[in-house]
């Protein structure tokens, strides 16, 4: 039943160690047009694949500005919670500021689902990549 399928592929991005970075528009183009995915699927959620919070959100935004047959969303934890967790650091005195950081990320990704995210006013921490070479679970 294709209507009930939720697909979670990674975005098509250059390798983490590639010196040449792709624009969000190019990531959207390759992610949405270079796949063999049935257009009858209602939603596709993309994994962030070690991108920075801002980079993943900009790429999601570009995909939602491009014509495509799907509802394009996100299914990634790190671009939503990385800055939040670092801000909190397990300390009770940081709970409020960490919650505020989470709200910033949630709003950014909500706007990206609508193709209305600009990337303005982002923290330097949210722009840092999250790729860890040789990482294993």
Determine the Cα–Cα distance for residues 126 and 112; give it in Å rounded to an integer.
Answer: 15
Q: Alpha carbon 33 to chain centroid distance? A: 18
- DSSP conformational letter for 21: P
Q: What is the DSSP letter of 47?
A: B
Which pair of structure tokens corresponds to residue 112?
Answer: 């990206």
- Higher-confidence position of 17 and 3: 17
8-35 average pLDDT score = 80
For the chain, the structural domain boundaries read 2-127
pLDDT in tens, 50-99: 788 888 899 889 988 988 777 777 766 777 888 889 999 999 999 999 99
* DSSP annotation string for 83-137: HHHHHHTT-GGGHHHHHHHHHHHHHHHHHHHTT----TT--TGGGS----TT---
Average pLDDT of the residues in 20-37: 80
pLDDT confidence of 100, banded at 50, 70, 90? very high
Which CATH class name applies to 2-127? alpha beta
Beta strands, E only, 31-70: 43-46
């Amino acid at each position: 039943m294709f209507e009930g399928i939720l697909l979670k592929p990674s975005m098509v991005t250059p390798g983490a160690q590639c010196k040449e970075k792709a624009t969000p528009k190019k990531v959207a183009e390759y992610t949405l047009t270079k796949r063999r995915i049935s257009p009858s699927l209602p939603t596709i959620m993309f994994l962030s694949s070690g991108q920075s919070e801002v980079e993943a959100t900009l790429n999601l935004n570009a995909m939602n500005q491009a014509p495509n047959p799907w509802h394009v969303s996100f299914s990634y934890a790190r671009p939503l919670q990385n800055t939040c967790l670092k801000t909190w650091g397990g300390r009770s005195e940081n709970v409020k500021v960490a919650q505020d950081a989470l709200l910033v990320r949630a709003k950014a990704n909500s706007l990206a689902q609508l193709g209305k995210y600009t990337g303005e006013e982002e923290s330097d921490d949210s722009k840092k990549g999250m790729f860890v070479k040789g990482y294993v679970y």
